[in-house]
Each structure stands twice: as C-alpha cells, then as structure tokens.
Structure 1
Amino acid sequence: MLQDTILKTIGLGKSFKGFAAVSDVNLEVARGSIHALIGPNGAGKTTCFNLLTKFLEPTSGQILFNGLDITKERPAQIARRGVIRSFQISAVFPHLTVLENVRVALQQSLGTEFYFWKPQNSLLTLDDRALELLDEVGLSHFAGEEAISLAYGQKRALEIATTLAMDPELMLLDEPTQGMGHEDVERVTELIDRVAKGRTVLMVEHNMKVVSSIAHRITVLQRGSVLAEGSYYEVSSNPLVVEAYMGSHGESL
C-alpha cells in the first residue's frame, strides 16, 4: 500500500566550507498535492532541490521517497524511480521540432535513446503518445515547428511536456514562471494545475500569485532552515514570514 507521504526529508543539511546553505530541513510532501517551496533570495530553495535530486550530496540527514531511503542514490537512479526535475532533465533541443523533442524524452523513458542502429521509422510508434502529451500542454498545433520558433511561455510548456514524457511520479519544478510576462504566467500556472491532476508536484516559485492560486501546502525557507509551513493563508499571515519577505530587497507576499 502506498504511503500518503511521497517525499520526506529528515534533518536534511548541506554545508559548503563551513557555511550551512541548508540546515535541518524536515519536509513532507503529500501524494497528489502541489507543494511550494518559497523564501526570500538566498533562502536555500535551489540548494534543497539539488539535494533532493542528488545534484548535490547532503552533508547530513535523509531523503525518503515512498518510504525508501534514497539518500545515497545517484541522480539517474532517482530519476528512474520517478522523481523528475523539470528544466534540467527535460532540456529543449532548439532545432528539433516540438514533436521530436517529446519523442526524445519518450525514448529516454523507454531506455532506447542509444539505439542508433534502429531505423528512424521505428520512432514513429512513439508519435501518438507524443501528440497526446503535446495536446495536454496545448502545443499540438505546433508539433511540426522547430522549438526555437516558440514563444518563451510555449518553450516552458514544451519542457513540461518532455518532463511528463518521463512518466514522473513526483515532478520538481524550479521557478517555472521565471522571466515570463503576465499572460504567460497565467497560462503556465493553469497548465501546472492541470497536469498535476493524479500527480505530485514540488515547486520552487517566486511569484506569490502563482503559489496562492495552486499550492495546497507551502514551506517557507529562510537562511537554509524552515521558517514556517502551512496553507497560503497561514504562511502569509505569519509575522515571521512577513518580516522575512519585507526585509529582503523589498519583496512582499
């Protein structure tokens, strides 16, 4: 029987030459939820993500996925378990078509990406699934276009499609709306909410409007440690959180 908690960290920490970038982080992500990791600049959010996907080795603590200790596993092992980090594993190839980008990701999920001797038409069997994924993110009309021709928000949607192609059980999205205009932010927010159905999402996000509209639970980091956790209403009305944001480069909730 699957546990209600899909991801859990116990005392997770990372130090660089004596500086504690992340310290004693205890995180629980509920299965089927959208969980946001927020905090002022320099709070340790990206370092946390790098620890969870083992792009960095923890100095202390444990990482549990579906109740199994994955602390010592390599990034590829963790990805095979279904923990997929968007915008790293799902790189967009600018001069491949939109469809071909998703097909490459589907090949990775099947473990056939190095079968160079196979004829190209053998890849056509993946096209139906690739088109389904493009339809899911609203890009089916762009299937034959080169990825380089897409608008910025559409490229982010394509990156989400390639992440979905890896069949993630847990999607980690690092700043999915960064650098976007208002319309793209709304479109990608709606997209994340839609593709999260039946999946679990852990996201780092600066845009509080995005977080308030789709996150079920929020963990606030400050100086590498957990400052608060709860619903958007709970964390946004917490005096410690308000002080942390207001004192950080004029940011606000």
Structure 2
Amino acid sequence: MANSSAVLSRTETAQDADNVLVAEGLTKVFAGFAAVKDVNLAVRRGSIHALIGPNGAGKTTCFNLLTKTLAPTSGKIVFDGEDISSLRTSQVARRGLVRSFQISATFPNLTARENVRVALQSSYGTAYQFWRSLRAVAPLNSRADELLEQVGLANSRDTPAAELSYGKKRALEIATTLALEPRVMLLDEPTAGMGHEDIEPITDLIRRAAVGRTVLLVEHNLSVVSTLCDKITVLQHGQVLAEGNYAEVSNNPAVVTAYMGGVDE
C-alpha cells in the first residue's frame, strides 16, 4: 500500500510539472451571481489549449481571473509552480503570463514598429520613459523589426496602426504580446470580427507563435479550434461541461446540446 502511494505521489508530481497553469476551484461571484463556479483547469506546458462555450458561458470572466484582471472570490491559481492567486496583473505579466484582448489594443497614431517598441521598452526596463530621445530607444528597433517579420508585417513597419487592415492589427497585437516575452500567451477571441481571408493567416501565426511557449485562447470559431488546439475545455453557466481533444468534445452530447441551445449576448 505504501509503495502504491509513493507511485501515485510521483505521478502527481510529474503531472504538476507538465502543467504550467492550473486553476483549482476557481469561482467569481458578482452580486450573488456566480459567473464562474468551481472551475478546475490544467494547461499543459507547450500546448495550445482552448476555452470554448456558448455565449455567456463565463469564458472571458475565467480568462480575466487567470490573468488577475479580476480577483477571484475563491479558488487558487498556480503558474509554473507558484501560487499567484493574490498577485496583481502587472506582477503575473512580469512572470511571463501575458494576455491580449478581444478588442485590438494598439496605439492608432503610432507606426507598427513604434507600437512594438513601446512593448519592448517594458521588457528592457525603460517603460513609461516616453520623454527619452529616439536615439535612446533606437537599439530596440532591430528586435521590433524581427517581431514584425515573425507576424508578417515587415513591409508595414512604418505604417500607422490606424491604417492597417483589421487582420494586420491583430497580427500587430500578437507582435506586441510577443515583445513581452511570454511563457504563456493568452489570446481572447483572436479571430473575432475577421473575414474568412484573414482567419487562416492568423491561425498560422498563432501556431508559429506557440513554438517554445504555451497558448491558452478563448475562441468562438470551432474550425479554428479544431485545427489549432491540443486540448479543449468547454464551459457552460460558468462551470466545466467537458474537456478533451476536438473529436472527444465535438462528439459529446452535452456539448452539442449546449451549443444548439446557446443564446446570443
């Protein structure tokens, strides 16, 4: 019996090491309404993991809890073995847990390169020093250009963000997220509002960006999820309804019922 317990303990330790982001009993209550209730989530290191569910399922609230944009009512969040439940958003971002937002968050009057350079200033310890001369931040240009090339914006580096197409703005946002050198990158609806012509390039970009890091995304487009994600967690009414790979989840009768019965927000 003792040997069996020891084997179980070693197995649990190995599983803990494999999971870079873990939520245990995560709950958020707003004025008596539980938007997220007792959610357990384990994101495997190096994977692309999706949170999906019908509108109003609690996906974005869960995302906000994981990145500490919201404080949980109860539960525990562990990032790379460290309990981050009581930390602030900026503190978890400095540890490598970095998110993007559903609405593109770029500086419209800055060029693509300047947008990435602002993000790089945070990584290089010169954040908020906007009074510094262009010569002082010029060493960041080469890294900014590398990141823009990675996301397919090399030819748009001098274009103001406001003049970029919607798909290119989302690519720019991913570049600024990568500039913060995330170990885990959280993407909120990365293909939301995109035309069909932009979805495949952004999907390919996310796949490339995931090399050497972990990605957790909220995504409505199930065709994107099916081709991109290793594991899927389905939420409904703020609780985990199902979990598994796409084939397992898409064939789950409870998931089919949840989507067929979904109500638009």
Range class of TM-score, shorter chain = over 0.9
Post-superposition CA distance 1:164-209 (Å, at most 9, x none): 0000000000000000000101111111011111110000000000
How big is the alpha-carbon RMSD for the aligned residues of Structure 1 and Structure 2? Answer: 1.7
1:195 paired residue among 191, 209, 214: 209
How far did residue 248 of structure 1 move? 1.2
Aligned to 1:72: 86
How far did residue 53 of structure 1 move? 1.1
2:27·2:72 contact (CA, 8 Å) conserved in 1?
A: yes
Q: Which moved more, 1:150-159 or 1:103-112?
A: 103-112
2:116 paired residue among 97, 102, 106: 102
Q: Highest Rg: 1 or 2?
A: 2
More helix by share: 2
Aligned to 1:44: 58
Structure-2-length-normalised TM-score: 0.91
1:86 paired to 2:100? yes
How far did residue 114 of structure 1 move? 2.8
Aligned to 2:183: 169
What is the CA–CA distance in structure 1 between the aligned matches of 2:130 and 2:233, rounded to whole Å?
Answer: 44
1:8·1:65 contact (CA, 8 Å) conserved in 2?
A: yes
Structure-1-length-normalised TM-score: 0.95
What code does the residue aligned with 1:197 have? V
2:102·2:192 contact (CA, 8 Å) conserved in 1?
A: no
What is the CA–CA distance in structure 1 between the aligned matches of 2:230 and 2:185, rounded to whole Å?
Answer: 15
What code does the residue aligned with 2:108 have? P
How far did residue 55 of structure 1 move? 1.2
Number of equivalences = 250
Listed as ranges, the gaps of 5+ residues in structure 2 are 1-13
Aligned-pair identity in percent equals: 64
1:18 paired to 2:36? no
2:102·2:190 contact (CA, 8 Å) conserved in 1?
A: no
Aligned to 1:144: 158
What is the CA–CA distance in structure 2 between the aligned matches of 1:244 and 1:130, rounded to whole Å?
Answer: 43
What code does the residue aligned with 1:142 have? S
2:54·2:258 contact (CA, 8 Å) conserved in 1?
A: yes
1:90·1:160 contact (CA, 8 Å) conserved in 2?
A: no
Aligned to 1:30: 44
Q: Which secondary structure state, in structure 2, belongs to the residue aligned with residue 3 of structure 1? A: helix
Q: Which moved more, 1:163-172 or 1:115-124?
A: 115-124
How far did residue 89 of structure 1 move? 11
What is the CA–CA distance in structure 1 between the aligned matches of 2:158 and 2:231, rounded to whole Å?
Answer: 38
2:51·2:218 contact (CA, 8 Å) conserved in 1?
A: yes
